[in-house]
A and B are shown apart, each in its own frame.
Chain A
Amino acid sequence: MISKELVAASTIPIVLSLLKEKDNYGYQLIKDVQRISGGSLQWKEGSLYPVLLKLEKKGLISSYIKQEDGRNRKYYSLNKSGKTTLSELKNEWTNINQVMITLWNPQTRLT
């Protein structure tokens, strides 16, 4: 199980990455994360919606309503600025990941 702090820190890059693949709605985003992480990444499901709201207010994503199963379903899509932010976040996380790999892999450190 991943710690609460790390889950919180990774939420935005994960949401933006998933929305880069395709437009999606809250519930499905949660299920996709569970599937991809094999259940190790557990979001408090209700907390995703305020995060989506924040991202929308920042202009990183935008939303539209679609009628599905007789209900109004709010879909999100990634904006241009969201793509830029995502690539920045990707660089940051890749750098961190690289540092960790180097630190924890003795063979890499020797080279």
Chain B
Amino acid sequence: MEPANSFDLDTAISQYISQVNSAKILSEEEKDQIYDHFCSEAASLQDSGLSTEEAFFIAKMRFGDSSTIQQEFAKAKPWNSLLQIVLVAVVLVLGIKLVLNVANVFSFSIVIALREFSATRVENYLNVGDWIFRIGVIIALLYLGYIIFTKVRITYIRHLWAIPTLFILSEVAIRAMMQIFFDTFTTGIFTTYYLHSSYIYFGVSCVVIIFSMWFLYKNKDQQIKFA
């Protein structure tokens, strides 16, 4: 048989807080604050003779609609628009580079797989493959742009965190593949020059990426409005 009062106040409060925090906008301190508010309100209402369930529903009604409260919290966490533009620009550049890297990783994978063929045949393949991948990348970017500007009007910084992370992984992958590729197919000055300039580029990129990732982490709860 069902107990007379199976209502769990803690669970109900946690569920409400989760609704307010569906966009992950609340800090732990703010969650504690809402929890404390509900406990105090429910205790006061229960003292006046209401059941736990009734007390919770009245407390919830008085506190306000979860989506409205969420919006008000979002407004109270203002976002510096200049930094937003800089950040979005950095992430956008990394995003484009990520797509190009993915295309290159595919390209190099196939080239490495075809190592047993002659260098000329691989070169011929690369020429054709590059064109195909470049067209693919342009189509993918156009589609991504279309999605961003027409469908996703608001996003949160933390959603963008994946871009620099994937970018670093793709850079590591591509550099490893280039090492394999150049060791196999090229020798002499070109390889040395390429790798040295690549290390400088890689170092600078790492600094920019680490900074942008730290910045993204610091502002993970901030909203970005695209349009």
Residues of chain A lying within 8 A (CB to CB) of residue B39: 69, 71
Task: Give the contact stretch, choosing among A47-55, A77-85, A86-94, A98-106.
Answer: A47-55
Q: What distance in Å separates the Cβ of B134 from its nearest Cβ neighbour in chain A?
A: 47
Q: Is the CB of A50 within 8 A of B64?
A: no
B32 touches A47 (CB 8 A): no
Docked Cα-Cα span, A51 to B72, in Å, equals 8
A53-B34 CB under 8 A given contacts A27-B41, A46-B63, A47-B69:
no
How large, as a class, is the contact surface on chain B?
Answer: 20 to 34
Assess whether B24 is interfacial by the CB under 8 Å rule: no
Instruction: Count residues on chain A whose CB falls below 8 Å from chain B CBs.
Output: 19
Q: Which chain B residues border A13 with CB–CB below 8 Å?
A: none
Inter-chain contact B64/A57, CB cutoff 8 Å:
no
B37 within 8 A of A: yes
Let me know if A72 and B36 touch, CB within 8 A: yes
Please determine whether B69 and A71 come into contact, CB atoms closer than 8 angstroms.
Answer: no
What is the distance, in angstroms, from B74's C-beta to the closest C-beta of chain A?
9
Separation of A53 and B72 alpha carbons in the complex (Å) = 10
A residues contacting B by CB (< 8 A) are: 25-27, 44-47, 49-51, 53-54, 57, 65, 69, 71-74
